[in-house]
Structures are given as structure tokens and as C-alpha cells.
A and B are shown apart, each in its own frame.
Chain A
Amino acid sequence: MEYLYVFITGGIICVIGQLLMDATKLTPAHVLVLFVVSGAVLTGLGLYQPIVEFGNSGATIPLPGFGYSLAKGAMEAVQKEGLLGGIKGGVEATAAGVAAAVVFGYAVALIFSPKSKS
């Protein structure tokens, strides 16, 4: 049953992205930015936590989940370290994923060559 909730939540978030790209002139890049920022803002307002509790990975793996980690990290760090925590908390909470994407991405880009588009 849990798996079904994950599937539905993740699916719906992706459909919203698809509709945004089809119905408006937003490029994928704009959709990515929009999703990360709205994930962070919704978390700040306390509206994204319930979605995560319902959909688990379905809410954390799509990009609003990245915004969720950013905002949650910032808010949790404020409770421990005040303003300094608010500044560094978001980056700290997402550091592992971003570092992996940058370093492993760099390695892959150096090793592989683009495949000709047929």
C-alpha cells in the first residue's frame, strides 16, 4: 500500500510538470527552478511536510523534495544555531546530493562523449 502512495504522489508531481511544459512556454529549466523554489516555500509554510508523510519517496525524489530538504535544513538549523544556522542549514542538508551530482557528473562528462543524435 505504501508503494501505491509513493507511486501516486510522484506521478502527480510529474504530471504537474508535464502540463506546465505543454500548456505554457516554460522550458524544462524553468520548471526545475520553479519546482525547487515552490517546494522550499511550501515547506516554509508547513504545507509540504504532510505530502512527504503521505507520499514518502514520491514527494522527496521529485525536485520539490530538493526544495523541501533545503527549507527543512534551514529551519532545523535555526533551532540549534539561530541566524547562522538559517544561512548554512539548507546548503548543509543538501550538500551530499549536490556534491555527488557535481563530482560524479564531472567524472562522467570527462569520460564519456556525447552520442550523436540519430
Chain B
Amino acid sequence: MNMKKNQLNKKYNKYVKDISPKPNYLANSIKAFVTGGLVCVFGFAIQKLIISRGIDKETAGTIVIILLVCLSQLLTGFGVYDKLAKYAGAGLIVPITGFANSVVAPAMEYKREGIVLGVGAKLFSLAGPVLVCGYSAAVVIGIIYTLIY
């Protein structure tokens, strides 16, 4: 019985693999490289502009992050970001703008369920896991660093 089930599973997995479209690794990678690179260059240009106004590098970096976050969330609101991301793939998911997009996109969909439990909760449906894991990593690193410092 178990063996039969295993065989069935194997067959099914092979079937899924055969019919699902093969990703075009090279084309996708080139798109991700160019768009991701451009987002970073755009941020770098703004950072240079801010630094030239006499603000220190670290503060400038923070301001750039805030600007990129707000810009990409606005574009998400207008429905532009998701269209671009469909083309660019990871090039618009991996930069911080993709994180900002993942905060807004699910929240907009759940407006019907109210502004507290709908929008308020769904803001964190993707940001939650990122923040939970990120903060945990930071605190663990902080504790280990305290022990060896």
C-alpha cells in the first residue's frame, strides 16, 4: 500500500515537473540584474545628492531608504509597481522597494475586512515573517557579540 502510494507520488511529481513551464534562467537573470542594478544606482545618485548638501553618509543612507520605500509604495498604490515587477522579477523584489511593495499590496486587498483587522493585519502578512526573522537574527547576534566582546 505504502509502496503504491510512493510510486503514485513519484509519478505525480514527474507529471507536474513535465507540464510546468521551464523558467528561462538566462533571460530572467539578465532582467533581474539590470533592473536591480538600476534601482541601486538610482538610490546611490540620490544619496550623493544628499551628501553634497552637507549631510553625513549614514543619515543620507537612511533618508534614501525612506524615499525609496515611500516611492515604491506610491507606485504600488497606482498599480504600476506590480506590473513592473512582473517583468523584472527579483530585480524589483530583492531591493528594499520590493519589501515596501509587499507591505502595501496585501493590505490593499483586504480593505473590506476593516481598517484594523483587514488593512492593519495584512500590512504584516509578508513584512511580519521578514521582521520576525530579521529581528531575531539581530538579537541573537547581539547576545553572541556581547559574550565575545
Contacts and interface: CB of A to CB of B under 8 A. Distances in A.
A110 B119 CA distance: 7
B66 to A, nearest CB: 4
Interface residues of A, number: 76
Interface in B14-39: 23, 25, 28-29, 31-39
Interface of B: 23, 25, 28-29, 31-41, 43-45, 47, 61-62, 64-66, 68-70, 73-74, 76-79, 89-91, 93-100, 102-105, 107-109, 111, 115, 119-120, 123, 126-127, 129-131, 133-135, 137-139, 141-146, 149
User: Chain B contact residues: over half helix, strand or loop, or mixed?
Assistant: helix
User: Chain A contact residues: over half helix, strand or loop, or mixed?
Assistant: helix
9 contacts: A14-B95, A22-B25, A22-B28, A57-B44, A57-B61, A61-B97, A79-B149, A87-B143, A101-B99
Given A106-B119, A109-B119, 9 more contacts: A15-B36, A17-B90, A32-B94, A37-B133, A41-B141, A112-B76, A113-B108, A114-B105, A114-B108
